[in-house]
Amino acid sequence: MVNRLTSRLPDWTLLLVVGLTVAYFLLTHEGLYALDDYFYARYAHQLLTGTFRVEPDPLGLLHDPLKERPLIFGPVAVCYALFGLNILSTTLWPLLATLGCAVLIWRLYRRREPLVAAAAMLLLGLHYFTLNLTNYLYPDNILMFWCLAGAGTLLRGREPGRAAGRWGAGFAALSFAALLSKETIVYYLPFYLGVLGWDAYKRRHGRFWGVALATGAGLLAAYLGFYQYYTHDALYRIHLIEQTNQFLQEGNYLAGNRAALLSRVTWQPLAFFVGAGLGLMLMLAAVAVGRPTPLAAAETGPAAPPAEAPDRRFWLLLALSTLLLYWVGSTSLSQYNPISLLPRMTTPLLPPLALAAGFGLRTVVQRTGWWAIATGLVWLLAAAWLRNAAAVLYALPGLYVLLLGVGASRPWWPARLRAGTPGLTALTVLVLAGALAIRPLYFMRKPSVSGHFAQDRLIRQHLQAPAQGVVFVDDYLIGNYDFYYGFRPPAGLHYRRYWARDSVQLAPGQHAWLLLNRATLSNDELTRKLIRYSPDSVLSWYPRRRLVAEDGPVALFDVSGF
């Protein structure tokens, strides 16, 4: 019974990750939340309605790098066609890409390495920022899916007995799909070139690489030709990125931010990774560098293929090369500008790091002893250094693994939980899942910080045609209110900022409304930079108001006599 439970660990883990991801997506959704997802949604709508323009702005004033990522907004246009234009259909594609990563890991290792599969799915799928990015139409989790699919194709397509040509073509196509999603797929390029060079040196996998290179060259030639035709610049996308870096040069580490250079390339990345919750993966990946003990047949199951060291080395080297580029690489060819230390920028790193960490956890479970003691101590030190709510992510597994390292070899330790047993494997996965689920579950219970759905309901019920007049709104909603109308607001309804009240004159038959979203006006992320007023101050500007409707933190007032 225990052996069967252990062999089914990847299946149960996949169900847990999928269930928690979907629940998080639905219970924590904040609606349209930033400029990027608004632009992607607008491009998707333009694509669906045939109004999307491929050509750049003729004056060179409105270059937008987001427009050059068709595999972000293209699938969203399909979602709009199938499910209509709303916030859930807008973010369905990032959700599917996130779930796809868990399915890919499950498919890769559910039979070969059950513990690796379960651990990697948990470390990647329940990582808080992986879940957080399912709610927004950002390219990061979508890129993560293409990265994992491409790397997995490279690994499996070079195995004996495969249809090497098809796998090579698939590898090139998936890498190209990643390029059409976000430019940071380039961080995988050094590793891919290293594998190509090693295979060329060993004179193997020639058909795989021949087809991959031919397919890639054809796709790249068509891509450059496309830009040459529409923009008269085959390298338009590269020049656009460089232009963006030039615009942001005040933060460049050799110009406006020179004083921060040393810390940025030394201790800051490590502090960032630990603070973002990636210390679990980093430590387990470090453990995976050691040579693991072969798994017992009771854990792998009699039908499973033997464990393969090349897989462990593959994910370790890919994780290491990507990590180094995040640490000291540059997003620009003309100036040194390391990538921003933001959690969403790490998504290409996460799949190989999670899989390498899965092999590391396998080593801990098989060997225990000083491997487990060292791992537990490092995690407890990370928890002590953080000294905040996120410390629990390290404290719980740290205490467990430390106890495992100290006690697993003692006579009083339960026989069913000794090193390498299926019982210990299942318990370890359970503890890891519990620790990783704490933060997502906490945020699933928190109230909304945007009030999007309440605001959407009020707009649909009270601010539709044939209503005519002016709606006074905050400085955040003024930039994206047309999304609530499917990018087609009523012709007779005009949105203005709160402070524009003195410059507005109503025509006969028109009304004026005040839409007050208390959640937006108290959102720390907005009040730090964009919004400089409170709900009470806004209400004081409109003393002659009449409440029309209220839904949670959002209220609609008639202020026609302002």
Per-residue confidence (pLDDT) for residue 527, from 0 to 100:
75
Q: Which of the four pLDDT bands, split at 50, 70 and 90, describes residue 298?
A: very low
Please determine, for residue 302, whether its predicted confidence score (pLDDT) is greater than 70.
no
Average pLDDT in the 453-473 region? 95
Q: Is the N-terminal amide bond of 269 cis, ω within 30° of 0?
A: no
Per-residue confidence (pLDDT) for residue 293, from 0 to 100:
54
Closest CA to 530 of 33, 133, 137: 33
Per-residue confidence (pLDDT) for residue 345, from 0 to 100:
95
Each residue of 54-103: pLDDT tens digit?
A: 877 655 555 678 899 999 999 999 999 999 999 999 999 999 999 999 99
Please determine, for residue 520, whether its predicted confidence score (pLDDT) is greater than 80.
yes
CB 168 within 8 A of CB 212: yes
Closest CA to 122 of 359, 380, 437, 387: 437
Please give the radius of gyration of the chain, using alpha carbons only, rounded to the nearest integer.
26
- Residue 373 in tokens: 């003691």
Closest CA to 179 of 198, 167, 192: 192
Each residue of 328-360: pLDDT tens digit?
A: 998 887 778 888 899 999 999 999 999 999 999
Please determine, for residue 303, whether its predicted confidence score (pLDDT) is greater than 90.
no
Per-residue confidence (pLDDT) for residue 58, from 0 to 100:
55
CB 381 within 8 A of CB 416: no
Per-residue confidence (pLDDT) for residue 292, from 0 to 100:
59
52 CB-contact burial (10 Å; exposed 0-12 / middle 13-18 / buried 19+): middle
Q: How are beta strands 511-517 and 493-497 bridged, if at all?
A: unpaired
Alpha helices in 126-163 (DSSP H): 128-132, 140-157
CB 481 within 8 A of CB 41: no
Distance CA 121, CA 17 (A): 7
Long-range CB contacts for residues 20-24, cutoff 8 Å, separation at least 24? 20/125, 20/126, 20/131, 20/437, 20/440, 21/95, 21/98, 21/99, 21/102, 21/125, 21/131, 21/134, 22/95, 22/99, 23/444, 24/131, 24/134, 24/440, 24/443, 24/444
Average pLDDT in the 281-306 region? 65
Q: Which of the four pLDDT bands, split at 50, 70 and 90, describes residue 113?
A: very high
Please determine, for residue 110, whether its predicted confidence score (pLDDT) is greater than 90.
yes
Q: Using N-to-C axis directions, what is the helix angle for 114-125 and 350-367, rounded to 10°?
A: 130
Distance CA 224, CA 273 (A): 36
Average pLDDT in the 511-539 region? 90
Share of the chain above pLDDT 90, in %: 74
Per-residue confidence (pLDDT) for residue 175, from 0 to 100:
98
Q: In angstroms, how far is CA 398 from the centroid of its own chain?
A: 26
Each residue of 152-208: pLDDT tens digit?
A: 999 999 999 999 999 999 999 999 999 999 999 999 999 999 999 999 999 999 999
Per-residue confidence (pLDDT) for residue 250, from 0 to 100:
59
Distance CA 496, CA 503 (A): 10
